[in-house]
Amino acid sequence: MKNLRIFILGVGLIASAFTLNAQGPIPNITDNRLDFTVAGLKGDSIKLSSLKGKVLILDFWASWCGPCRFSNRHLVKMYSKYKDKGLEILSVSLDDELKDWKKAVAKDKITWLQGIDLGGWDSMTAVKWQVDALPATFVVNKDGDVVAINPERDDLEKKIKELLGL
């Protein structure tokens, strides 16, 4: 039964990727249908489209998501390695509680941009980006175009290096 759930989850991720790409031109973070503003850790606002011009990983996660927390370990290493070369990460939490989110950010030693969109699966960002499983990762080039969706760990780093010209 567990394997069936994993299979269905995988099919869902693939379907969401094709759905996003099948809507016409390559999705761009400046498109009003995809752009959003979320609350940052310090009470500030983070607007997705303001990150155009950077190589970006847009990461959806939650403190209660085991695979997300595991993924954070890899992202911490990758961010440390490439942040001075132009990599930016924006993680958007789908947590329902600010305290859970903030505690997880501190525990996972996350130093990149963090936002939260309270409301879980029904939050505006999750709906706009068709997030139906966590973690959900979108790689964005300097032009703001989404160039990869949910790449495997090695493929993610390879794509980031390529986009950074390394």
Task: Provide the domain count of the chain.
Answer: 1
Q: What are phi and psi of 42, to 5 degrees?
A: -95, 15
Looking up residue 141, the CATH number of its domain turns out to be 3.40.30.10
Q: What is the pLDDT of residues 90-142, one digit of tens each?
A: 999 999 999 999 999 999 999 999 999 998 899 999 999 999 999 999 999 99
Inform me whether the pLDDT recorded for 9 exceeds 50.
no
pLDDT of residue 8: 39
pLDDT of residue 17: 43
Q: Give the domain range for residue 47.
A: 2-164
List, in order, residues 6 or more apart from 73 with CB less than 8 Å away: 108
Burial 80-109 (b: 16+ CB within 10 A, else e): eebeeebbbbbbbbbbeeeeebbebbeebe
Pick the closest to residue 126 from 160, 148, 95 (CA basis): 95
Predicted TM-score (pTM) of the model is 0.83
**What confidence category does residue 12 fall into, taking pLDDT thresholds of 50, 70 and 90?**
very low
Instruction: Tell me if 20 sits within 8 A of 27, measured CB to CB.
Output: yes
Q: What is the pLDDT of residues 35-82, one digit of tens each?
A: 999 999 988 999 999 999 999 999 999 999 999 999 999 999 999 999
